[in-house]
A and B are shown apart, each in its own frame.
Chain A
């Protein structure tokens, strides 16, 4: 067998561009005028001398894979995988390896910044931390401070909105903003992420679960791209057994992904029609009596109703062929193979909401899985166990003047805690908010790139009286903030301990590999200091307007008043009395003892009997738990599958998954349906300034079907304009047969507009600028794949 392999790479145009040559790189930064020019050696060969190996958890994406940071003379020279963590299984992906370049990114925010120019123009001055906190509290001549805003709003804390990207310090920010400062208006990233998937599975089988891909023998993976959107351990488990090696893999995706390249069969499904595919497979199963009747009788309420529903509606494969574009015979074949397999899994998927029917799609998928009976057991969707850590108690004050959240218009099951980004923003812009929203506190979150319709996000941010950002890089959103606080990156901080996994659970801790660079501080220190600064002045506002507090404290002496302030949680900083390291130790020792703490400190991972169970199988692989200690079956008789969810009807939601013709896939002649997604080398906008990753994918391209591109005279690398109803972007074209003639794809996260990020600035296109701000009707989550665009050469 002969295979031609060449140094040249054909894909994504990496042949066309060389970005940086030379050994050192110095970039003009946000503060270039004030910053002495430092030379950054971009890669450092590891040395042969003494080195520390500090356990860390990766912060480049959501997975929290474990690694050891090699530290030589105070410099992180290499990130290595950690073989003790069952979730990440002794590996680091390209982003994990490139984390060093994020740590030493010359464009890091180095000092606290206060805006001196207009919002968006990037003009800031370097200030001390005290001056920055002071600006948040009292404002400057350019913007109002929180004290004035809350005074004018008579202590209605809901006038503050806040958001936070995923991460180990996210809970702390929720404590500060939600519980201590007391606003209900949290706009979590979940509503631009996988909210319907979690909700659909939770409302059907009680949890999202874990797919036991090590033991499954048949896999349908639809709209999830595990070769490129890496999820641990799924990615590692899946591709060791695909390609005729035990895990038959059926991939559904509108475009041909790297996951499709590993499939036994790939079906190019029309975007937003997966529900029709699942319903048709369900039809085949019921019609041919392939379902596990014993299992359903025992665990599934109302499955006979669903059988009648699916059969009577006539959801045949022939019906679905017209909607999905997948041949009826293939649907018959897949349904029969699935039910004939011993351990079949319809993979739950993750990522964003595709279409307005996404909640029903996830319900239908969960029910389809249940039809096989392959739940709560080896080789199926399992539920497992978590190791629990003692909860931290928060003394949350009660504010009488705070008003409830309002982002509920037109949605069936509004989530009180997390909200809907699009609805919250749009209602404020449309003046539908029942009280003024005047400040946004943001951390590690970039809605200018993440929330569909960037023009509206910009308007929204400009409407605020005060915007605050805590982050490591000056993102597009940071450019619209009045105070920008520099955070320590994940390799410079010890984070709160966390518990992961279900089949093979573990406790993990990220330890700081080096001290925070420049003047950055760890998030928990920032929360504490900000809370200390705000606490007493905000307390004065509460005393001025809060009648409950006034009644309680009438005639109190100053000492009594001080005691009341402390006892009732108005001392905002009391949640951070101890540093993270100390709290971690207390929680771990309380739950698992001193020895566990020692192991965790050294190895970054702990689980009971780890030293007994953990074994190296070969140079690459480890066993974490013995087979008989893995949590395959945990629900047992408590397992319940909700098939006919009657109460949903009260909210105007179909109690059983039902297709509506308005969801049929339609693209007007000459237009393209836009789909977005990921490559393995980038997470989101947060990684696009990483020099190492930029070598691998220099920019994002718009995928156009090759034949269509030829008709339009578009060649590889040509600049094109992609426009929708809400905006337009310019980026380079990538003609390919991997996408349908009436569809188009671009990689999410590019097209940054912040001049403070030299590598990311004006590189490629930002999908959020052209994705229309449609929401699905259950939670108000963003439906990402419902926009049609035009493409023309420019």
Chain B
């Protein structure tokens, strides 16, 4: 089992419903810089009224659950580990907040959880929704324009496997060899 997510990112309208759903589902603390997922926005290019629509894209992102995760490699206490389905998890009991993983992550996907003073990140809702037998993550379920599809890459009949078979896609910072499992559909 290899859990992954496909993002039909052109659908994204930067409403941030995913971010709120994630926080409410997973009890993520409040605070503008405390979030497991986010929508990346770049400053638009050009001068009014000649603005580049093409430069103004919305790119939802989060932990990529890399198969070759640099965060896991650098963790001195094995707090960061691969859990069932290849989900990259942080064991709060083992984390000593050395923050090597935060430095190592090329996707800037980790933050410090003040309640426990440990590192926190996306879990693909594995300890909430998936643990209850649900098949979608909170961010996927709530998305107004249905950007996200979560599923198992090892199941050839899963929606995500089908999507990746039929739609062109790319991954982020592929050249780093991290083998990320967030796939952006073109």
The answer on a CB contact under 8 Å between A619 and B151 is yes
The answer on a CB contact under 8 Å between B142 and A619 is no
Residues of B within 8 A of A680 (CB): 13-17
Is B144 positioned at the interface, with any CB of A under 8 Å from its CB? Answer: yes
Which one of A25, A93, A242, A739 has the highest number of Cβ atoms from chain B below 10 Å of its Cβ?
A93
Closest chain B residue to A680 by CB distance? B15
The answer on a CB contact under 8 Å between B17 and A91 is yes
The answer on a CB contact under 8 Å between A46 and B25 is yes
Closest approach, in angstroms, between the C-beta of B146 and any C-beta of chain A? 4
Closest approach, in angstroms, between the C-beta of A587 and any C-beta of chain B? 31
Chain A contact residues, majority secondary structure = loop
Is A74 positioned at the interface, with any CB of B under 8 Å from its CB? Answer: no
CA distance A698 to B149 in the complex (A): 30
The answer on a CB contact under 8 Å between A6 and B56 is no
The answer on a CB contact under 8 Å between A261 and B30 is no
The answer on a CB contact under 8 Å between A21 and B53 is no
- A–B complex contacts, Cβ < 8 Å, 10 sampled: A11-B43, A21-B31, A22-B29, A42-B29, A43-B28, A78-B25, A80-B142, A228-B15, A235-B144, A621-B146
20 A-B pairs besides A43-B30, A620-B143 with CB distance below 8 A are A11-B41, A22-B29, A25-B30, A43-B29, A91-B17, A92-B17, A92-B144, A97-B142, A227-B13, A258-B13, A258-B14, A261-B53, A681-B15, A692-B24, A692-B30, A696-B16, A696-B20, A737-B51, A738-B51, A741-B48
Residues of B within 8 A of A19 (CB): 30-32
The contact string, 1 if C-beta is below 8 Å from chain B, for chain A 53-81, is: 00000000000000000000000011111
Closest chain B residue to A256 by CB distance? B51
The answer on a CB contact under 8 Å between A81 and B108 is no
CA distance A680 to B29 in the complex (A): 21
Is B76 positioned at the interface, with any CB of A under 8 Å from its CB? Answer: no
Is A705 positioned at the interface, with any CB of B under 8 Å from its CB? Answer: yes
Q: Which A residues between 261 and 278 are near B, CB-CB below 8 angstroms?
A: 261-268
Q: Which residues of B contact A (CB under 8 A)?
A: 8, 10-11, 13-17, 19-21, 23-35, 38-44, 46-49, 51, 53, 56-59, 61, 107-109, 111, 114-115, 128-129, 131-132, 135-136, 138, 140-146, 148-151, 159, 170, 172-174, 184, 186
Is A366 positioned at the interface, with any CB of B under 8 Å from its CB? Answer: no
Closest approach, in angstroms, between the C-beta of B131 and any C-beta of chain A? 6
Residues of A within 8 A of B132 (CB): 48
Which one of B24, B25, B27 has the highest number of Cβ atoms from chain A below 10 Å of its Cβ?
B24
CA distance A73 to B136 in the complex (A): 24
Residues of A within 8 A of B59 (CB): 3, 5
Is A628 positioned at the interface, with any CB of B under 8 Å from its CB? Answer: no
The contact string, 1 if C-beta is below 8 Å from chain B, for chain A 1-34, is: 1111111111100110111111101000000000
Known contacts A737-B44, A737-B51; is-contact A235 B13 (Cβ 8 Å): yes
Is A459 positioned at the interface, with any CB of B under 8 Å from its CB? Answer: no
Q: Report, as a range, how many residues of chain A touch the other chain.
A: 35 or more
User: Could you say which of A81, A260, A268, A705 contacts B141, with CB atoms under 8 Å apart?
Assistant: A81
The answer on a CB contact under 8 Å between A227 and B146 is no
Is A285 positioned at the interface, with any CB of B under 8 Å from its CB? Answer: no
The answer on a CB contact under 8 Å between B17 and A94 is yes
Residues of B within 8 A of A22 (CB): 29, 114-115
Residues of A within 8 A of B32 (CB): 14-15, 17-19, 695-696, 698
User: Could you say which of B14, B39, B150, B184 contacts A3, with CB atoms under 8 Å apart?
Assistant: B184
CA distance A35 to B99 in the complex (A): 41
Is A592 positioned at the interface, with any CB of B under 8 Å from its CB? Answer: no
The answer on a CB contact under 8 Å between B21 and A740 is no
The answer on a CB contact under 8 Å between A78 and B41 is no
Closest approach, in angstroms, between the C-beta of B102 and any C-beta of chain A? 10
User: Could you say which of B27, B30, B58, B173 contacts A2, with CB atoms under 8 Å apart?
Assistant: B173
Residues of B within 8 A of A42 (CB): 29-30
Is A236 positioned at the interface, with any CB of B under 8 Å from its CB? Answer: yes
Residues of A within 8 A of B41 (CB): 9-11
The answer on a CB contact under 8 Å between B10 and A245 is yes
The answer on a CB contact under 8 Å between A692 and B49 is no
The answer on a CB contact under 8 Å between B27 and A705 is no
Closest approach, in angstroms, between the C-beta of A568 and any C-beta of chain B? 50
Closest approach, in angstroms, between the C-beta of B89 and any C-beta of chain A? 15
The answer on a CB contact under 8 Å between B143 and A268 is no
Residues of B within 8 A of A564 (CB): none
Known contacts A17-B32, A43-B27, A260-B53; is-contact A619 B140 (Cβ 8 Å): yes
The answer on a CB contact under 8 Å between B49 and A268 is yes
The answer on a CB contact under 8 Å between A7 and B19 is no
Closest approach, in angstroms, between the C-beta of B36 and any C-beta of chain A? 10
CA distance A266 to B37 in the complex (A): 29
Residues of B within 8 A of A235 (CB): 13, 144-145
User: Could you say which of A2, A4, A227, A698 contacts B15, with CB atoms under 8 Å apart?
Assistant: A227
Closest approach, in angstroms, between the C-beta of B127 and any C-beta of chain A? 8
The answer on a CB contact under 8 Å between B46 and A737 is yes
The answer on a CB contact under 8 Å between A619 and B135 is yes
The answer on a CB contact under 8 Å between B16 and A681 is yes
Closest chain A residue to B132 by CB distance? A48
Known contacts A97-B20, A239-B145, A266-B53; is-contact A9 B135 (Cβ 8 Å): no
Residues of B within 8 A of A293 (CB): none
The answer on a CB contact under 8 Å between A619 and B31 is no
Closest approach, in angstroms, between the C-beta of B17 and any C-beta of chain A? 5
CA distance A1 to B59 in the complex (A): 13
CA distance A21 to B28 in the complex (A): 11
Q: Which A residues between 33 and 57 are near B, CB-CB below 8 angstroms?
A: 42-46, 48
CA distance A228 to B17 in the complex (A): 12
Residues of B within 8 A of A123 (CB): none
Closest approach, in angstroms, between the C-beta of A667 and any C-beta of chain B? 15
Known contacts A42-B30, A43-B24, A46-B128; is-contact A92 B142 (Cβ 8 Å): yes
Residues of A within 8 A of B173 (CB): 2
User: Could you say which of B8, B14, B31, B46 contacts A20, with CB atoms under 8 Å apart?
Assistant: B31
The answer on a CB contact under 8 Å between B24 and A261 is no
Residues of B within 8 A of A1 (CB): 170, 186
CA distance A680 to B159 in the complex (A): 29
User: Could you say which of A5, A14, A17, A228 contacts B107, with CB atoms under 8 Å apart?
Assistant: A5
CA distance A81 to B148 in the complex (A): 15
Closest chain B residue to A327 by CB distance? B49
CA distance A5 to B38 in the complex (A): 10
Is A98 positioned at the interface, with any CB of B under 8 Å from its CB? Answer: yes
CA distance A741 to B27 in the complex (A): 43
Residues of A within 8 A of B186 (CB): 1
CA distance A267 to B149 in the complex (A): 34
